[in-house]
Structure formats: C-alpha cells, structure tokens
C-alpha cells in the first residue's frame, strides 16, 4: 500500500447502526478505491467495542467514525496496528487538549483510569486484495453528566479534562493527518519504531496485572513490555509469556493483603 498515492474520502451520515458495520457491508465498493474511505456518523445506534461490549456515543458529544485500509501484510502485524492507532490518538489529544493521557493495552485511552476513547479493529483476508482492515474509533468529546453516570464502566471526556470545547471536525482532521504519517512508516517497518514511545504511555507497564482469557483462565504477572508485533509481554511464575490481542481482559491485580 503506497500511501503517497492515497487520500481520505469522508462520508458523513446523520445516523447508522455502526460505522464499521456499514463499511463491512459495503466493502466490495470500497476495496478497490484509490481513496481511504472514512465513515463519520452523528448518531450511532449499535456501536461495538472489544469483547462484544457496546460502545455508547452521544450526539453532539462524541466523535464516531471508521475507516478502511488494505494491506499486503501478514495477520501478525495487525496487533501492532491496533497499538499504533492508540498512539496516534494520544498524540492528537496532547496537541489539542494537553494532559497526562495513558494507554491500556491494547488500545484504550485513559485519563485518571477513566476511558476517553475506544478502538475496534476488524479484518478480512482476501487472496486478491490482501488484508482489509476496518478501524472503528469513538472519542468522548463533551458528554452530558447524566450520560456519563449511566455507563457501567468509568469514563470521562476531553471537556472534563481540559474545560475546553474542542471542535470535532478539527479532532478528526488532526487524527487523519497524524495517521497518514504513522502509516507511511508502519507499512515499511511495522510497529517497532513506535514500540518504546507506546510503552512509555502504557498505564500498566511494570505493574502487577491479571489477564482474563476467553477460556476463563486467569494469568497473573508483571507487565514487562510489548513485542514488535504488539503482543503483551508478561513476567509470570512460569517465565516470560506473550499474549496476542483477542478476547482478553487486562486488569490491575487486586491485592489480597
């Protein structure tokens, strides 16, 4: 994929069930385009997060969009891409709304342990087009207080952090510009050039954590970093172990005294 030949084509909608679902339903129309399609919606009825969790958005307090990328890359690189997107968002937040943001592996953006943004990456493999990747992103810009209190997990928004009303179009534009620059490196060198910067932002780096796996097993250890492919490196009683992105929940280890 040669990004200097591409540019973004924005599609705006008042309402959709899901921006990512819309792209996946119309992927045949987009896959051969010489543009990178970006679908932006004002109201999203059935947003999705990782592990099949719902992602709630609120108009006009959220920025909700998805984009489609086609890669001639192995699937193993997609974990790194997920982390790259989180780094891209943090860079933009720091520019437009400076604060001490942190990332929770693989790609949740946090402030004071409250979630600001969610990212969901879905992929399809095609023998002719390589890997098609749909990146869904939701950013909490300025949510009503009653909306925040009704969410089952702790969240915040950029307005609560900075007391500034950020323009959603400006946020989107800065993200696409930053992403374009990062992807031009990623397509050649993968996640490795960004790994150290990402680890400095990782909320759980060198901390004791629990990994809750899809088979209901729990792995306890200390976060030692991430690999060049974006896998989590955990120092456990059985030595170093790597974990790829999937239906894995990362949590702080609760002390039992």
**134-187 tens-digit pLDDT:** 999 999 999 888 777 677 788 999 999 999 989 999 999 999 999 999 998 998
Confidence of residue 47 (pLDDT cuts 50, 70, 90): low
What pairing do the DSSP bridges indicate for beta strands 232-236 and 218-226? Answer: antiparallel
Write the DSSP assignment of 174-234 as a string of letters.
HHHHHHHHHHHHHHHHTTGGGHHHHHHHBTTTTSEEEEE-TTS-EEEEEEEEE-TTSPEEE
Q: What is the pLDDT of residue 257?
A: 33
Query: Distance between alpha carbon 138 and the CA centroid of its chain, in Å?
Result: 8
Mean pLDDT, residues 216-239 taken together: 94
CATH 3.40.50.300 fits 204-252, yes or no: no
Rounded mean pLDDT of the chain? 86
Q: What is the DSSP letter of 253?
A: P
Confidence of residue 255 (pLDDT cuts 50, 70, 90): very low
Q: Which residues contact 44 (CB under 8 A, 6 or more apart)?
A: 15, 16, 17, 18, 19, 55, 57, 62, 64, 138
Residue ranges of the domains in the chain? 3-200, 204-252
Which residue do the tokens 């699937």 mark? 75
CATH of 3-200, one of 1.10.3720.10, 3.30.930.10, 3.40.50.720, 3.60.150.10: 3.30.930.10
Q: What is the pLDDT of residues 77-116, one digit of tens each?
A: 677 999 999 999 999 999 999 999 999 999 999 999 999 9
């Amino acid at each position: 994929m040669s990004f200097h030949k591409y540019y973004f084509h924005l599609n705006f909608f008042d309402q959709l069930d899901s921006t990512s679902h819309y792209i996946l339903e119309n992927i045949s129309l987009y896959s051969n385009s010489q543009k990178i399609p970006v679908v932006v919606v004002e109201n999203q009825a059935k947003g999705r997060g990782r592990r099949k969790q719902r992602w709630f958005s609120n108009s006009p307090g959220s920025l909700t969009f998805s984009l489609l990328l086609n890669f001639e890359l192995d699937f193993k690189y997609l974990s790194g891409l997920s982390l790259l997107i989180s780094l891209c968002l943090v860079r933009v937040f720091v520019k437009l709304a400076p604060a001490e943001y942190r990332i929770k592996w693989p790609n949740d953006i946090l402030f004071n342990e409250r979630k600001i943004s969610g990212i969901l990456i879905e992929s399809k493999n095609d023998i002719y087009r390589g890997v098609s990747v749909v990146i869904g992103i939701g950013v909490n810009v300025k949510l009503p207080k009653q909306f925040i209190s009704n969410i089952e997990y702790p969240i915040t928004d950029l307005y609560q952090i900075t007391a500034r009303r950020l323009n959603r179009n400006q946020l989107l534009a800065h993200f696409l510009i930053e992403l374009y620059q990062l992807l031009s490196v990623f397509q050649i060198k993968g996640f490795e050039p960004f790994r150290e910067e990402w680890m400095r932002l990782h909320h759980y780096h060198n901390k004791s954590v629990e990994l809750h796996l899809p088979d209901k097993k729990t792995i306890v250890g200390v976060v030692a970093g991430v690999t060049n492919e974006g896998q989590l490196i955990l120092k456990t009683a059985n030595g170093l172990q790597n974990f790829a992105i999937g239906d894995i929940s990362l949590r702080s280890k609760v002390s039992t005294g």
